[in-house]
């Protein structure tokens, strides 16, 4: 894996934290801390508790991630 490679997983937002951070439970059962990507902030896409999201994670730190997509329910 190179430095630019990311891991994409799906999960569900279980908790909304201050400073636009979220606690996300991934499909494999792991819980991570995530934040919204810049495009989501720019277009004012709101992420609420219970939303299904796609998370990008670095292979170096598997406890943090960036929310890149909010799925429609």
Phi, psi of 44 (to 5 degrees): 55, 45
Q: pLDDT of 15-73, one tens digit each?
A: 999 999 999 999 999 999 999 999 999 999 999 999 999 999 999 999 999 999 999 87
Whole-angstrom Cα distance, residue 67 to residue 56?
A: 6
Do 53 and 67 contact (CB within 8 A), yes or no? yes
CA-CA distance, 67 to 5, in Å (whole number)? Answer: 16
Find out whether 31 and 24 touch, Cβ atoms under 8 Å: yes
pTM comes to 0.90
């Amino acid at each position: 894996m190179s430095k630019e490679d990311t891991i994409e997983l799906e999960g569900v937002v279980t908790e909304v934290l201050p400073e636009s951070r979220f606690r996300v439970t991934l499909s494999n059962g792991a819980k991570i801390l995530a934040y919204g990507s810049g495009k989501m902030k720019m277009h004012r896409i709101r992420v609420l508790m219970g939303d299904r999201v796609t998370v990008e994670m670095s292979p170096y730190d598997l406890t943090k991630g960036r929310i890149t997509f909010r799925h429609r329910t």
